[in-house]
Amino acid sequence: MQVHNFNAGPSMLPNEVLYKASKALIDFDGLGMSILEISHRSEAFLQVMAEARQLVRELLQLDEDFEVLFLHGGASTQFMQVPYNLLDAGETAGYLDTGVWANRALKEARLFGNVEVVASSADRNYCYIPKSFTVPKHLKYLHITTNNTIYGTQWHQIPEVEVPLVADMSSDIFSRRLDFNKFALIYAGAQKNMGPAGVTLVVVRKSILGKVSRLIPTMLDYRVHIQHESIYNTPPVFAVYISMLTLRWLKEQGGVDAIEKRNEAKAALLYREIDENPLFRGTADPADRSRMNVCFVMNDPSLEKEFLEFCKKEDIVGIKGHRLVGGFRASIYNAMPIESVEYLVESMRYFARTHG
């Protein structure tokens, strides 16, 4: 990375991962072949897959009932794969509607069974996390999007529920310590916090599977992938490899607890500047602010174009806000060093001084 890359996903990766991967593209492990040229059934790749799965288990401190899968398809595939495997026709799943992605997930579930929107923050453009709601006991599962990438909100308190909890953690997986064993199923597209685009992590409690009556196509059946240790068909070899390297890097950084402290510091620094700087203000309710995606606008919207151009000149990349929120979004996932956040803060200050 030679720029300050605040892309929301795909996002920046640790330099050491990229350097290692760049070499593996020419010669993997001294085999005289590229990582792209080896068989997915070779000992070399079996080891990559096994290490990746083991690292997930270790970093999330998962109990024995869980299986770790690296699947094709992106998080959007999970929007339908989850209900395909868990929600029978006639049954009801609950969804917490906290943004675009949560909404897409619940729409897919409607193809398979009934959906109850347990709570929604659509009334104020998803700028907050719903606080008081009751979760009906008859739900087959409750689906939560732990971090809302577009709106910059995050569940800092995971609801305590009696029904199985399914979580889309695409934009905050591995960023903070949670009791991951409280979930029944967790999924995450790799391309934000743990790898490149092209592979999706699924962590699933075996005991919740096999309870729907519909026939599940082989490639969509979690049990098939569990049985084949995530190599039922040719997996996305390179994306799994990069994820493994990124998880290794994360472990070397001290794991989830250590990275959480760094993520807290990065977010605190940036939000403090947004609050103190007279030109900017945050868009999410302060209590629900995401530590991953920091969304902000300018008090004088006519300055936004100029600030964006200024950022571009300063090698600050990917800072434009999603069109549904406007303004700016700085995504500061695990791989983002605090130095880049400091650089952004300095740039905001400089801009304020020169445009005060």
Ligand X SMILES: Cc1ncc(COP(=O)(O)O)c(C=O)c1O
- The residues that touch ligand X, with contacts defined as CB under 6 A, are 9, 74-76, 101, 145, 149, 168, 170-171, 189, 233-234
Kindly identify the residues of this chain, within the stretch 139-168, that bind Mg ion according to CB under 5 A.
148-150
The yes or no reply on residue 332 touching a copy of itself (CB under 8 A) is no
The secondary structure of 282-311 as a DSSP string is ESS-GGGB-SSEEEEEESSGGGHHHHHHHH
The yes or no reply on residue 125 touching a copy of itself (CB under 8 A) is no
Looking at the Cβ atoms of 147 and 347, the one nearer to ligand X is: 147
In the Cβ-directed half-sphere of 344, how many Cα atoms lie within 13 Å?
31
The yes or no reply on residue 303 touching Mg ion (CB under 5 A) is no
Q: For residues 273 and 25, give the distance between their C-alpha atoms in angstroms, rounded to a whole number.
A: 41
Task: Determine contact, residues 289/153, Cβ cutoff 8 Å.
Answer: yes
Alpha helices, DSSP H, located in 74-141: 75-86, 100-109
Q: For residues 239 and 188, give the distance between their C-alpha atoms in angstroms, rounded to a whole number.
A: 13
Looking at the Cβ atoms of 66 and 155, the one nearer to ligand X is: 155
Which of 146, 116, 121, 142 has its CA nearest to residue 131? 121
* In the complex, minimum distance from the CB of residue 222 to a copy of itself, in angstroms, rounded to a whole number: 15
* In the complex, minimum distance from the CB of residue 106 to Mg ion, in angstroms, rounded to a whole number: 13
The yes or no reply on residue 334 touching Mg ion (CB under 5 A) is no
* In the complex, minimum distance from the CB of residue 234 to ligand X, in angstroms, rounded to a whole number: 3
191 annotated ligand binder: yes
**Active-site residues: which are they?**
101, 168, 192
Which helix (H) or strand (E) segment is 189 a member of? strand 185-189
* In the complex, minimum distance from the CB of residue 312 to Mg ion, in angstroms, rounded to a whole number: 22
156 binds, among a copy of itself, Mg ion, ligand X, none (CB under 5 to 8 A by kind): none
220 binds, among ligand X, Mg ion, a copy of itself, none (CB under 5 to 8 A by kind): a copy of itself
Alpha-carbon dihedral of residues 340, 345, 349, 354, nearest 10 degrees? 40
User: Tokens in use for 147?
Assistant: 């971090």
Q: Which residues contact 52 (CB under 8 A, 6 or more apart)?
A: 70, 240, 241, 243, 244, 247
Q: Which stretch binds Mg ion (CB under 5 A): 61-69, 91-99, 109-117, 200-208?
A: 91-99
Site string (57-96) toward a copy of itself, x via CB under 8 A: ---------------xxxxxx-xx---x------------
Give the annotated binding-site residues: 41, 75-76, 101, 149, 168, 191, 233-234
